[in-house]
Structure 1
């Protein structure tokens, strides 16, 4: 269902609620009989809409309850409830556990609902309205079942912070979908912040000045809440609609006659370490899965494996096999056939890969290797759209073609250029070996600057493929200096690699009069945590391929 249809559905549901409010009468505020269960307000089977009458304050003898129990069971199928009531009113919904078992404590189903609030659907005979505010007398609450668009999430917020709270205006919600971005839908004129609820710690400000139509990165699986609303008179609902990443199809806009070495391509170092299996420390270099990286615009991935074809970084394993990596890449290319993926393959943790990969590719009929481009020369983009270009960092098997050779003359922990028999390659990979006592980000940054400058301006290097790693390794003499801290700061590291690179790229982008070349630029933690990326390195590298920005940068 498209956005326009979704808006029409919500308007239709609101109209149903409004008509029901006019049609249903009011009951008097009667005391609760402790000897008998409360009356159950019900309806016919498969109802789309039902209603319940609430008093303007809790019933006599009750601290919170302001209505009889009402039923949501046996209603029409759906995923969510839309709640309607007078605009000035807000209320809670609780579950009565005294009946029938008489052995529990009532619990909240939803809190601070107002007109137009949305919650997940739940079937029970024992809900009731509680803690009403803003009612001048008895009022009707109408609840309507509907099926949400796939992936939609909702958060109901008060128009001001909760009592006793400085910022919080909603209860916690979680965005669980496997989407890289969401579009915000809320009433025009309202702005708010989104905070992260951190147990036993100071809550974190995630996003500020959020408003209708804004695209945000997905702060996946975190406890979030709405905070500091402005411009709202009544409670309101925020809808999080899955949105397409602006970087998902960027290669579709690039001239396909260009060779890959003519492009600016964002990449990731040790790309498989974004899984939860790899904990924080020296081995973790990414925060996100291969799928998310590709959706975010990454087009060079660095796959390191042992001889069992398990993805690892040194002794730390990602919980992935090569087949799963290929499935994710193939799935992405099936959906985005004008893109291409450069895949560097390297042995790790004792793996040589030569025999393992030779055997694996021999089983072409049962393994997902059909999208590989394994010629030795660097192709044009058109030639490899929808394909995976193999970059070989392992010893070549005796027979067959095994991609672009990066293995024989790779400058270990250094920078340099070489000719591999078919192509000119320039590699910047000064990462500082573990035992090196001087892991110096200033030295590293100068190597990165030199590589970027050559890719950008050097006539004699115009046919070179540039691979520039902006990453640094943990060291024995500074074990607290992890790849994360080199990338984004901490423990006094100066310069910090990703913000420093951002400044370097800005200098070239601001003076461009057409497409410029940075080559393939390979990053650790390319977008920080996603939601807090304020450098936009991937977007800047992509935009270098165009005279004007393809992706607007806030």
Structure 2
């Protein structure tokens, strides 16, 4: 099947040469011995993840060769000049076959006149090698061998990817990575832990929507403790919302071009109510760093929100807060959407949500994947329509998360292991582009960043490239 190349950048891509190389012999493991059984702290830190994902092997894998190393010293047995142009946010059948198993296809190409090459090996995320000075251009290639497909994505610096976008862009027009139960990276009950890395690592790798659950706690009930449903998020003691917010403030101080949507919801023990929670959020969180918050009851433009946390509230507010901003309220009002919804619209039509969460059996995971894909395409259509009509689009919110505590196969990590690759593939290959718009809305995941895998978030952020040429 001929290779399809999809250009998910704002530049014209031109393939100039194709070559074929023999693949190197596959690396084999080595027996575990006293000599190589080292780095005990690292092994201990990753033991839970190891036993969750695979059976324990009797070998340690060798390091895979890099794309550069794979064919650096090999001799091409076939090479052809080419001239295949792929326009921004479009795809082209290159007419080039991947070739037989055991053969590496190398593509040399130009982007904005700068030269690169990439060797198509079985790893999903590849880094094209610059051939000379390429300026600030950074690219990632996402390869799916079974579908004979390669997507090239602009690899913006994920810590400040908003810096390239103009101030007037509506927040709803952005493609934005998010995390569900964002602070839950600690050792915890299996249905409670939803993330592999901490808040700072998430923000540095492109996340701009944090889903956080808390309850009033501590002396006089003035502290806000992080929870997931009725459970604390860590087995080694309470974790506080104040610490998470400090990570956000520190990140924004380092990256003032960015903003972070902070979704707050009250969960946990009985004995408190939303109105009390709303007063605590204002007094103990927002007012302590007032200059860092955007709390108007509107979805802002990027320029209005840079350097700030945007309050996205999933709780009711008391009467005093309803009177704020000329009686319009306080924060983006996401008080409620229909439970277990595949598609619901709230906030006077300004928020559109997919949050189908009751995956009670493993067979329901495919249903969830279908709803996520439908909402991604709904986002493109809605953002494109808003652009044609000269209005701000709704904020499309798409949860990839789901769980069922009572079945091991539907714990968050098990569901993420199936949903994340499926949606990564969809974004790379099938996600529709309409009139230059590729908007995904907010894509909210579990367990991104595990083992350094940020491919989906690179794709989501890359979909903003169309905004650079509008």
| 2:431 is the counterpart of 1:483 | no
| 2:356 is the counterpart of 1:430 | yes
- Paired with 2:227 and 2:316, the residues of 1 have a C-alpha distance of 19
Given candidates 454, 462, 467, the residue that maps to 1:543 is 462
Counterpart secondary structure, 2:320: coil
- Paired with 1:291 and 1:355, the residues of 2 have a C-alpha distance of 29
Tell me the equivalent position of 2:118: none
Tell me the equivalent position of 2:345: 418
Query: Is the contact between residue 432 and residue 473 of structure 1 (CA under 8 Å) also seen in structure 2?
Result: yes
| 2:182 is the counterpart of 1:253 | no
Q: Within 5 Å, give how 1:14-93 maps onto structure 2.
A: none
Tell me the equivalent position of 1:519: 441
Tell me the equivalent position of 1:450: 374
- Paired with 1:502 and 1:358, the residues of 2 have a C-alpha distance of 40
| 2:459 is the counterpart of 1:530 | no
Tell me the equivalent position of 1:395: 316
Structure 1 residues 211 and 502, CA gap change in structure 2 (3 angstroms): closer
Tell me the equivalent position of 1:315: 230
Cα drift, residue 272 of structure 1: 1.4
Number of equivalent positions: 321
Counterpart secondary structure, 1:333: helix
- Paired with 1:366 and 1:419, the residues of 2 have a C-alpha distance of 27
Instruction: With a CA cutoff of 8 Å and minimum separation of 6, indicate the structure with the bigger relative contact order.
Output: 2
Tell me the equivalent position of 1:266: 177
Tell me the equivalent position of 2:198: 289
Query: Is the contact between residue 31 and residue 59 of structure 2 (CA under 8 Å) also seen in structure 1?
Result: no
| 2:137 is the counterpart of 1:208 | no
Tell me the equivalent position of 2:279: 358
Q: String of CA shifts for 1:388-443, please: whole Å, max 9, x gaps.
A: 001010011222342101114x121112332424x52110000107xx56860111
Cα drift, residue 362 of structure 1: 2.6
Q: String of CA shifts for 1:516-547, please: whole Å, max 9, x gaps.
A: 201001001123x233x2x7001000000004
Structure 1 residues 430 and 304, CA gap change in structure 2 (3 angstroms): same
Runs (5+) with no aligned partner, structure 1 = 1-160, 177-197, 214-243, 489-495, 550-554
Counterpart secondary structure, 2:438: coil
| 2:250 is the counterpart of 1:331 | yes
Cα drift, residue 513 of structure 1: 7.7
- Paired with 2:204 and 2:58, the residues of 1 have a C-alpha distance of 32
Cα drift, residue 355 of structure 1: 1.0
Query: Is the contact between residue 364 and residue 370 of structure 1 (CA under 8 Å) also seen in structure 2?
Result: no
- TM-score by length of structure 1 reads 0.52
Structure 1 residues 385 and 210, CA gap change in structure 2 (3 angstroms): same
- Paired with 2:180 and 2:261, the residues of 1 have a C-alpha distance of 12
More helix by share: 2
Counterpart secondary structure, 1:377: coil
- Paired with 2:461 and 2:289, the residues of 1 have a C-alpha distance of 28
- Paired with 2:62 and 2:229, the residues of 1 have a C-alpha distance of 33
| 2:383 is the counterpart of 1:471 | no
Cα drift, residue 481 of structure 1: 2.3
Q: Within 5 Å, give how 1:157-236 maps onto structure 2.
A: 172-173=38-39, 202-205=58-61, 207-210=63-66
Cα drift, residue 366 of structure 1: 7.7
- Paired with 1:166 and 1:271, the residues of 2 have a C-alpha distance of 36
Counterpart secondary structure, 1:208: coil
Query: Is the contact between residue 371 and residue 386 of structure 1 (CA under 8 Å) also seen in structure 2?
Result: yes
Tell me the equivalent position of 1:501: 423
Counterpart secondary structure, 1:294: helix
Computing the radius of gyration from Cα coordinates, the structure with the larger value is: 1
Runs (5+) with no aligned partner, structure 2 = 1-26, 43-53, 70-154, 218-223, 322-328, 388-392
